[in-house]
Structure 1
Amino acid sequence: MRRAFVVVSTITLVVFAFQFVFAAVGAFTKPSSDSAYALHSITGMAVIPALVLLTTLFAALAKAPGRLIALSVLPLGLTLLQALLAALPEAFADETGSSTVVGLIFGALHAVNGIIAIHVVVGVVRAAGRLAAPDPAPPVPLNATQNAEAT
């Protein structure tokens, strides 16, 4: 199960990285429309939550420490916050639909939150790798080494 935890958490990291690519595709698609962000939206609202839950399940099945299990579910909360931060800029648009300073701040926080989420996932992948690594050989007691040399 520990190996599966590493694999699923790594897949989750790759998908999170692709989110930045999908956002860039949406930002640079001309003419601009909401459909330009379709891959970004679907991945963020369906694929990532499913992968985060799967990662958390494998963390629990791998008997990871409670803190690592909690860390593995944290990206789900950050993903829910992403949805809110993505919606708020429109909510704060002026009467003509133009951006406002408050709306732009929430848009910027959407990007910052994405960076934080990917860093959390990197931490999960690293911790999963340490958990799955074989235990190092126990140190040989000094007396046993001396006794073996004496014989």
Structure 2
Amino acid sequence: MRKIFAALAGLLVLLVVAQFFFAASGGFSTRPGEEAYKGHHMLGYVLFLWPIVMIVVAAIGRMPGRLIGLTAVIPALTAFQVVVAKIAIGMHDSGSGTGSEIVFGLHGIGGLLTGVFAGLILRQARAQLKPTATPPATA
């Protein structure tokens, strides 16, 4: 189970990188509004569900609670990202202008935090693969 979790953690990092790619490509797209960010939005659902699967695998594999807790941060950050985006879009649509740009800035910082946590999870998952030293047997 530890190898499976480590593989899932590696894929999580790749998903976060892909999420940044889709956000950037949406920002420079010529497609209108929400259509430009369709890939970013769809992958957001995956980024919410993927760590939940990881938590189940970690629990079955009796991984350390700290690692399970770190993994639970990802869906929480993803939910935060959705709330921040909805608030920023609402502010922009109401004509608040600069306020929405500041809130969208929080969305970017949330994305960076997601990447940091994904990296920490991968690092700790890989550390779980290393064999632990056993004390020498006494006769």
Same fold (TM over 0.5): yes
Q: Report the counterpart of residue 29 of structure 2 in structure 1.
A: 29
1:28 is displaced (CA, Å) by 0.8
Larger radius of gyration: 1
**How many percent of aligned residue pairs carry the same amino acid?**
28
Q: TM-score, normalised by structure 1?
A: 0.83
Match of 1:129 among 122, 126, 130: 126
User: Aligned residue for 1:17?
Assistant: 17
Match of 2:109 among 91, 107, 112: 112
One-letter code aligned to 1:115: L
Shift of residue 137 of structure 1? Answer: 5.6
Query: CA offset at residue 67 of structure 1?
Result: 1.4
Q: Is there any run of 5+ residues in structure 2 with no aligned partner, and where?
A: none
Match of 1:53 in 2: 52
Task: Give the Cα separation in 1 of the matches to 2:126 and 2:54.
Answer: 13
Deviation at 1:133, TM superposition (A): 1.4
**Which 4+ runs in 1 deviate beyond 4 A?**
137-141
Cα-Cα RMSD: 2.0
Structure 1 position 138, deviation (Å): 4.2
- Residue 93 to residue 129, structure 1, CA distance change in 2 (3 Å): same
Q: CA deviation at 1:140?
A: 8.9
- Structure 1 unaligned segments of length 5 or more: list them: 142-151
Cα displacement (A) at 1:65: 1.5
1:123: Cα distance to partner?
0.5
Counterparts in 2 of 1:60-99, with a 5 A limit? 60-93=59-92, 95=94, 97=95
Matched pairs, number? 139
